[in-house]
Amino acid sequence: MSLTKKTEIEKNCYELEFTISKEAFEAAMNDAYRKNVKKMNVPGFRKGKAPRSIIEKMYGKGVFYEDALNACIGPAYEEAAKESELAIVGRPEFDVVSIEDNAPVMKAKVYVKPEVTIENYLGIEVTRTEKVADEAAVNAELERVRERNARMLDVTDRAAAMDDTVTIDYVGTIDGVAFEGGSANDHSLKLGSGAFIPGFEEQIVGKSIGETFDVNVSFPEDYHATDLAGKAAVFSVTLKEIKATELAPLDDEFAKDVSEFDTLDAYKADIQAKLQERFNKEMESEVSDKLMDALLERMQADIPEVMFEMETENELRDMDNNLRMQGLDLSTYCKYCGMDLDMIRAQLRPRAEKQVKVRLTLEKIAALENLTASAEAIEDEYKRISEAYNVPMDQVKAMIDEKDLAEDLKVKAAMDLVKEKAVVTAA
């Protein structure tokens, strides 16, 4: 047994005093000696051949203490943490109490999960915004599909009009001086898209191919480039090309071109079914969000700051992983957005706080309701993860501890119970 004392020093914070056995520390000292002796010069001995006792006499008894402690503190702490039976969160803060007779006594400051109280978590009343895949919704989706599959036709017999896509060259000046980022060649712009400064696109309407003209606009007061915000600018624009969008007629041929169906009616029925499925998920998500908010209003806990910090770092790592999958990283993202890591952490913090509170609340409900995860449910979840990520089952089991998976399933069961007992009405 390595744990010798467990003391609560503040709310949800303990100090664990534990020992490292003399045998383990001595073995670690010998390993540290073997690792470092080759770098030490001792008069009278060839480099790397001086005995440990001579080195300790020359450099001091504690010459190998740091390496030895680093090597064996982990296993000793893990044993002490287990013996403490505390739900420890975050990394411990270590300190040396004594190293007498090569049997170190250590202490670790640790934080633990807080005690959570919650009442009236079953039968919560929430409203849900009903969403129905009616004819209007289906027609709107059909229009989006038509636009995605539209043809672009060259226009040569008329001036530019709203909804045309034009190709332009432009040079922007302020008080007659060109400014950075204010010029481009062969730029494609859909008129009416609102992609440019307010008033810019409207002044292209009515102009013909080959025409060069001035566009007079003012940058918005809240423009992202502060050196341009609120300033009047003149753009010399040359219209080089006009293209119009041609939408296909809504008929059976259109359905065959864009789907697996032979008739427009069959295609519309499929759109309606898929839209309703999506709407159902959105309604379910809305109910879940409202129930979570209601649960958080009912829960009470003194949550250690370290739990919020840990979850924020988890969110940051997830963000970095997602960016890397897109060929970016946090450093590049920061440059693009004009932010640093602390600013991103500040943005992620509210979500992290909510995640921590929701998890603690659902864990408490699972405990109050005596919810468990059966061996069959655990095995099914391993299988689901394996199939979802196309990773062999044995690798999934090696990556995800069964106890952690069981806790996740209990949390899910708690949320399912809250949903089942909720009173949901249509808004």
Domain count, the chain: 3
Three-state DSSP at 312 gives helix
**In this structure, are 276 and 403 located in the same domain?**
yes
Which of 58, 88, 112 represents a domain boundary (last residue)? 112
Tokens matching residue 116: 């959570």
One domain, residues 308 and 234: no
Q: How far is the first Cα of the chain from the last one, in angstroms, to the nearest whole number?
A: 60
Both 238 and 311 in a single domain?
Answer: no
CATH number of the domain encompassing residue 155 = 3.10.50.40
Domain span at residue 314 reads 264-426
According to DSSP, the β-strands at 165-174 and 177-190 are antiparallel
Q: How many CB atoms lie within 10 A of CB 16?
A: 24
Task: Specify the long-range contacts of residues 354-359, CB closer than 8 Å, at least 24 apart.
Answer: 354/292, 354/296, 355/311, 355/315, 356/303, 356/307, 356/308, 356/311, 357/296, 357/299, 357/301, 357/303, 358/292, 358/295, 358/296, 359/411
For residues 175 and 293, membership in a common domain is answered with no
Under 8 Å between Cβ of 378 and 396? no
Distance of alpha carbon 91 from alpha carbon 89, whole angstroms: 7
Question: How far apart are alpha carbons 74 and 270 in whole angstroms?
Answer: 58
> What pLDDT shows up at residue 38?
84
Asked whether residue 168 falls in the same domain as residue 63, the answer is no
Please give the pLDDT value at position 1: 57
Positions of the chain with pLDDT lower than 50, given as ranges? none
Residues 275 and 412 in one domain: yes
**CATH, residue 393:** 1.10.3120.10
User: Could you tell me if residue 255 is inside a domain?
Assistant: no
Residues 240 and 268 in one domain: no
Is 377 contained in some domain? yes
Residue 141 lies in a domain: no
One domain for residues 298 and 359: yes
* Domain stops at, among 246, 280, 305: 246
Q: Does 309 lie in the same domain as 164?
A: no
What's the maximum distance between 2 C-alpha atoms anywhere in the chain? 99
Question: CATH number of the domain that 102 lies in?
Answer: 3.30.70.1050
* Cβ atoms of 310 and 110 closer than 8 Å: no
- The whole-number pLDDT of residue 427 equals 80
Q: Answer yes or no: is 131 within a domain.
A: no
Specify the DSSP class assigned to residue 179.
E
Query: Which of 52, 82, 112 corresponds to the end of one domain?
Result: 112
Q: Is residue 125 part of a domain?
A: no
> Is 124 a domain residue?
no
**CB of 76 within 8 A of CB of 263?**
no
Q: Which amino acid is at 84?
A: S
Q: What is the pLDDT of residue 278?
A: 96
**What is the pLDDT at residue 350?**
96
Q: Residue length, the chain?
A: 427
Residue spans of alpha helices (H) in 118-206: 135-148
Q: Is 140 domain-assigned?
A: no
DSSP 400: S
194 and 240 share one domain: yes
The answer to whether residue 292 is domain-embedded is: yes
